[in-house]
Structure 1
Amino acid sequence: MGKGRWGLVAVLVAGVVAGCGDGGGDARPSLSTASPNGPTGTATGKAVTLAVAGVVATGVEVPWGLAFLPDSSALVTERDSGRIKRVTGAGIVTEVGTVAGVDASSEGGLLGIAVDPGYPKRPYIYVYYSSGDDNRIARLTYSNGGISEPTVILEGIPQAAIHNGGRLRFGPDGFLYAGTGDGADRPNSQDDDSLGGKILRITTDGKAAPGNPDGRLWISKGHRNVQGLAFGGSQLYAAEFGQDTWDELNAITPGANYGWPAAEGVSNLDGMVDPIAQWPTKDASPSGIAFAQGHIFMASLRGERLWAIPVADGKRTGDPVAFFTGKYGRLRTVEAARDGSLWLTTSNTDGRGDAKPGDDRILRVTVTQ
């Protein structure tokens, strides 16, 4: 059964149905055996080449979320310190403030960040963070180079030392999407009353967005730990940590069940949607993803590489290809900049990496076809 797509309107697109299988008839996702550092191509479609053009900034401590402002500078969250920093393309780094109430842990702390689509007329940014009791989403005013007026718009997302999810992304429909984790409690992912192991779709006031299945706060369930969200047109993609065997890239259909904990990777279970690509956990451990030039780019922590996955309309159109394997260490977040490049962050100061002088850093990556 073919996968539907999340539309640009505030209601479910007519005819959208929960998909099954691996994306509408493509062969089962296979592992890339391509050269780890490129340049390489894809099985079908145009070849893509990535190159690190330079270092945007150094000395950022455990960067996690990154969101661009209209002036092409970016706001970056530091997981452990709870600070937000502004980084310009010229490498100027300034602190804009600290989010109160952040309780950092092995995988928790100040995580995702998103800029209101109406900025600066609506001078708001949104952050996802771990408190001592739960994970929360808050709205902050960002103006005159500082943050103020913090307002928690959603709380009660399961929190633990691990599996906190945390990525935020505004969709083309104007609503805020959030990837959550199971909070180290597997049944959360299948519990319709839990916000754990879900992809949320909410208004900027933290309410269920119009058109969500059954009026819930979430649009998909059965996730283990979603740390990557990206839109290719109206299609939402999500990267997910597996446990011991398979990490996943999923094409998201509203109302669908992605299988965890019954399924990890392609499992062909009735009523559950398989990923469109999968990797052994040693080759990925995926966090942030971005869409550009017909590809999902996926930053990998344990895998220490940037994957390029050709996609179209919720299907994988060629083999994933890895770049920069082992060269820059753990890679956490990738975002598409306004000039067509990618900004890519390392995560070597997070307690699990091998920090080098200058870490953590933000790299500028060029993409050519």
Structure 2
Amino acid sequence: MNGSRRGFLTATGTVLLGGLAGCMGAPTGGQTGETTTETTAGTTADDGGDGTETSGRDSDLASLELRYETVASGFTSPVDVAIPEAFDGSRRFVVDQPGRVWLHDDTGLRPDPYLDITDQVVELRGYDERGFLGLTFHPEFADNGRLFVRYSAPRRSGTPSNYSHTFVLSELTVDPEATTVSADSERTLLEIPQPQANHNAGALAFGPDGYLYVAVGDGGNANDEGRGHVDDWYDAVTGGNGQDVTENLLGSVLRLDVDSRGGVSGDEDKPYGIPEDNPLVGRDGYDEQYALGLRNPWRLSFDGEDLYVADVGQGMWEEVNLVEAGGNYGWNVREGAHCFRAGECPTETPGGEPLVDPVLEYPHSGGGPSGVAVIGGYVYRGEEIPTLSGAYVFADWQSQGRLFAARPQESRPWDIVEIPVSDLGGGGENVLAFGRDPTGELYVCTSGSTRISGTTGTLNRLRVA
């Protein structure tokens, strides 16, 4: 199913997600049970045959008002929700940052964690960007029971003693029908030394090509410099994991073939394969890398062959990009489409590769959309909110009761429309993540706290007000 890949929304922002130390009791949730007709992802709804939309214009978006229908509550810090097609969307798996996955199905929220790896995750306290950060299910999970997790572990062998922790990507094989599973089958696929505690990214998603895409932050700290940040080609800012492809895997999106092993050349040390058309195969650099120039890519999603990534910026701009294989999205030469810490900056690398402009960006202050850390979402493909059809829906961490939406345009950046949320249900105003079910309907994970403590986290379904 390989095909031409148009793009991928990338947002760069500041510090990311609140952590909350220790889960204080089990979350709670009721029964939903609604179903809608499935739509085809990757196509523009209501188009006139040439890809041009004929309804649902941005003026309609501006008049839209939404609400949250709380599906489940009592989480500590719900940073991801996976809704696999294996169960026709009837099971929703919520990742709670301290180390648990909770299962919500048509009977409600299960009383015991679906998966608990708290003892394998670093201890979290206060505000923390580490933890259990990502979960995705193999496209054939119903048959093979394979799922993939991404978490922050205490320093493992190979991680320097002055580094913060170890990035871990693992595979588990479980009973597909079980409502609780263990990590006894864990097979570690990848470990990356993390020099700082922040900028951990963590999103996982399978593309339509069947390959696993993994978001990796730049290693933390500020400016992409300091301990664990290597030199790059851009002399205006010291350091530069975002622009490096030879020293480490930080600051990039990886693309892995988890259905094979041995890398490209049969290396027995590689517990995964490498797609032969990855952009750096046969070139100087890590074969795993698919795109680079990222700071803290918080959440990624596919819409057909389009891959959307939100990449949290430093202090002035948040951005979203449509990403192509081998694309360089600018960090730490640029923040959004703007020069970072320099009056002027190049628009391409010394080798002539362009630094790709974002399709969306918004500032940290000023009129119109603004915020401090972009939270990546999904293109809406459902039927319950027809005005949203074909729009990419996302948020800022401090959303203050609003969401953002945008549709593709010929020129960049695309226009962003603010959408108020009139009823937050039982949730807080801090958006942490989004999910999309097989029918194209959207879910929003929120929290009432910026710290990893308490039970203010909720899973909400997006509705018309």
TM-score range, shorter chain: 0.7 to 0.9
Q: In the aligned structure 1, how far is the partner of 2:173 from the partner of 2:75?
A: 23
- Give yes or no for the alignment of 1:338 onto 2:438: yes
Q: Could you say if the C-alpha distance between residues 314 and 224 of structure 1 is closer, same or farther in structure 2, counting changes exceeding 3 Å? A: farther
Gaps of 5+ in 2: 9-55, 156-165, 225-239, 259-270, 282-286, 340-345, 349-354, 365-369, 381-388
Q: Could you say if the C-alpha distance between residues 312 and 157 of structure 1 is closer, same or farther in structure 2, counting changes exceeding 3 Å? A: farther
Superimposed CA distance per residue, residues 318-364 of structure 1 (whole angstroms, 9 cap, x where no aligned partner): 433233389531001111123442111113344189x7xx6111111
Is the CA contact (8 Å cut-off) linking 1:130 and 1:159 kept in structure 2?
no
Aligned to 1:196: 250
Q: How many residues align?
A: 332
Q: In the aligned structure 2, how far is the partner of 1:79 from the partner of 1:314?
A: 38
Larger-gyration structure (1/2):
2
Aligned to 1:79: 97
Superimposed CA distance per residue, residues 107-146 of structure 1 (whole angstroms, 9 cap, x where no aligned partner): 0010011011011112011111111232111111232221
- Give yes or no for the alignment of 1:208 onto 2:274: yes
Aligned to 1:321: 418
Aligned to 1:156: 192
Is the CA contact (8 Å cut-off) linking 2:251 and 2:294 kept in structure 1?
yes
Aligned to 1:140: 172
- Give yes or no for the alignment of 1:278 onto 2:361: yes
Q: CA deviation at 1:147?
A: 3.1
Aligned to 2:28: none
Q: In the aligned structure 2, how far is the partner of 1:17 from the partner of 1:57?
A: 33
Q: Could you say if the C-alpha distance between residues 315 and 266 of structure 1 is closer, same or farther in structure 2, counting changes exceeding 3 Å? A: closer
Q: CA deviation at 1:189?
A: 1.1
Is the CA contact (8 Å cut-off) linking 2:211 and 2:256 kept in structure 1?
yes
Q: In the aligned structure 2, how far is the partner of 1:287 from the partner of 1:157?
A: 25
Q: In the aligned structure 1, how far is the partner of 2:457 from the partner of 2:7?
A: 42
Q: Could you say if the C-alpha distance between residues 46 and 366 of structure 1 is closer, same or farther in structure 2, counting changes exceeding 3 Å? A: same
- Give yes or no for the alignment of 1:128 onto 2:150: yes
Under a length normalisation based on structure 1, what TM-score does the superposition of the two structures give? 0.81
User: Which residue identity is paired with 1:147?
Assistant: S
User: Which residue identity is paired with 1:275?
Assistant: P
Q: Identity of paired residues, percent?
A: 26
Aligned to 1:290: 378
Under a length normalisation based on structure 2, what TM-score does the superposition of the two structures give? 0.65
Q: For 1:40-189, list aligned pairs within 5 A.
A: 43=58, 49=64, 51-52=66-67, 54-69=69-84, 70-71=86-87, 72=89, 73-80=91-98, 82-93=99-110, 94-99=112-117, 100-105=119-124, 106-133=128-155, 134-143=166-175, 144-145=178-179, 146-148=181-183, 149-156=185-192, 158=194, 160-184=196-220, 186=224, 187-189=240-242
Is the CA contact (8 Å cut-off) linking 1:212 and 1:219 kept in structure 2?
yes
User: Which residue identity is paired with 1:212?
Assistant: N
The 3-state SS of whatever aligns with 1:54 is strand
* Alignment RMSD (CA, Å): 3.0
Q: In the aligned structure 2, how far is the partner of 1:50 from the partner of 1:125?
A: 36
Q: Could you say if the C-alpha distance between residues 314 and 83 of structure 1 is closer, same or farther in structure 2, counting changes exceeding 3 Å? A: farther
Q: CA deviation at 1:89?
A: 4.6
Looking at secondary structure, tell me which structure has more strand per residue. 1
Q: Could you say if the C-alpha distance between residues 325 and 42 of structure 1 is closer, same or farther in structure 2, counting changes exceeding 3 Å? A: farther
